[in-house]
Chain A
Amino acid sequence: MSKIIEIEDYTWKYLNTQQPALNKINLTVDEGSVIGIIGPNGSGKTTLAYSMDGLIPGQYNGIKQGFVQVFGKEVESYAKGELQRLVGVVFADPEAQFTAMTVEDELVFGMENLGMSIAEIQERLEWVTELTDLTHLLEKPPYEISGGQKQRVALAAVLAMTPKILILDEPTSMLDPLSRRRIFGVLSRLKEEQQNTIIVIEHSLENLIPLADRMALLYEGELLLEDETQPFFQQTEFLLAKGVFPPGVVKFFYELMKAGRYSGNLPLTVETAQSELVKILTGLPKQETKSN
């Protein structure tokens, strides 16, 4: 897989702030991979997302050091609007990104900006509304639908532009569990069917883990940990120390591991945890099973 984003020794300090929002970040993203970025509030996750889309330094004043390259080209060297055709961003607050009066207008706005033909717009509109289940909402104003629907509209509006890279900045932070699952369902389909490169900034790890190929931990502007998802969560003690709370199954097996009852890879999902638990229970001597 080729490297699609390369960030090297990247530091960004907003104007009139003492500390840099991001400090000496080194990160590469492979084409077609899904990366989950986690970290406490104020750790620089949104700044990193904006840096990869060119909103930083384009729309913000500050001091930049290092390199942020997308498709081998520094973000500032892209012409206005050019980078946004390659990188799509879905923001945390869906309502803040609505620019049109109906869901349909909202979905086609980006495609019109790209200068697509009417036939192509029609085709993509059908595809994206089917993917995100929005067909019945096309005539509605986007600010009058439910929170989950709003976020699906925001996601669909970006997807319709078919960017090579999709960045989602806490896309489910305002949603209920069911709506979260639907958003991640869409992302799973994208990963399987379109092989998109997806970067997800998210606190809901239960949904993120099954999707992510790699994980990265940002903490106070620094990239403290970056690895494939399984080994990333093997470092549970470190994650807990940095305020990241892995899903219940990971913590449960981590406690078993600390108690000397388990020694394998920490299971990341309920399904793998179940099979690991069966192995543990069937491996126990009969007397011990009874006493427990």
Chain B
Amino acid sequence: MNKTLLGYVPNESPIYYIHPFVKLFFLLIVSLFPLFVTAPEWNIGLMLAIILLMWISRVDMRTLKIYIPIAVSMGSIILLSYTVLGGTHPEFELIVRIIGVNIYWERIRDAVIVYFRILPMIFTMVFFLTTSRERDIIVAMRSIRIPFVVTYVFAMALRSAGMVLEDFQIVRQAEQARGFDPAGKSIAYKIRQYVMYMIPLFALSLRRSEEFTNALVARGYAFTGEASRIKRPDYILTHYQFKALDLVFTVVIGLLFIILLVMHYGYNFFGMETSWLIQLLRDVVS
């Protein structure tokens, strides 16, 4: 098993045949699909397609269970914001009035549309993160000639996020070892007490940045000056070949996006007017 950003993928996974750039391209382009699709059934279809890709990539599907509570709570929040907190709209069709709150058909419909737009975006991100390592992101960025400094700062940000979390655990354990137990206390108390984590965390971060700077200087790296002008070879990129299959995938993803745009703007496809799911919902609500 290989550790990825959000889980593990077995060594035999076909995802390793795909160049990291294709994965990043998939994330960036496919995430845009739902923005041009209003009919929820198409977005549900996209979501299922991504789940299928995860299955083909041999991602441990049990990890998807983690996202069920998130999906449920997100759906509830969206629905509440659109309906209960949606305000008064005399121009909309009133479905029911509960304790003085007007529930309109249009607000329910919009909530469902938005929810099923966000879900595939999240699934695309989950697919990318469960099948990619930090190195894949860096390789993908470098393969499209993004300057080394930019990719390096991005890598450092990824790494420092992990380090801050580790440091937070250390500080928390140290506090607990000295008898601090926020269990059962009020939220206000917890927030007040969590502030005290910030001081050692801040001090640790300062120390870490000093050590990190020293490490960079000691390895001959410089952002400015003579040393920064040396042409850096990119050894890691030599491990990754952009094959014909990668080109095919990239073209297919690009073409799908173009087709989507043409269908959407040219033929008014994927709209809610033609959505059978919206129609079904309309019948149920009425």
Contact = CB atoms under 8 A, between A and B. Distances in A.
A87 B187 CA distance: 53
Given A79-B226, A82-B226, A85-B220, A101 B212 contact: no
Interface residues on B, range: 35 or more
A211 interface: no
B119 to A, nearest CB: 30
A102 to B, nearest CB: 6
Given A59-B213, A80-B227, A141-B3, A53 B235 contact: no
B282 interface: no
B218 A84 contact: yes
Contacts of A157: 219
Nearest to B155: A101
Contact of B3 (A82, A144, A158): A144
Interface residues of A, number: 46
Contact of B222 (A55, A81, A93, A102): A81
Interface stretch (B35-43, B109-117, B130-138, B242-250): B130-138
A205 to B, nearest CB: 26
B219 A98 contact: no
B211 A80 contact: no
Interface in B206-235: 208, 210-222, 224-228, 230-235
A59 B214 contact: yes
B218 A101 contact: no
A263 B223 CA distance: 59
Interface of B: 2-3, 133-135, 138, 155-156, 158-159, 162, 208, 210-222, 224-228, 230-236, 238
9 contacts: A53-B218, A55-B214, A79-B226, A80-B224, A97-B218, A101-B158, A104-B236, A116-B233, A161-B219
Interface of A: 50, 53-55, 58-59, 79-82, 84-85, 88-89, 91, 93, 96-102, 104-105, 108-118, 121-122, 125, 139, 141, 143-144, 157-158, 161
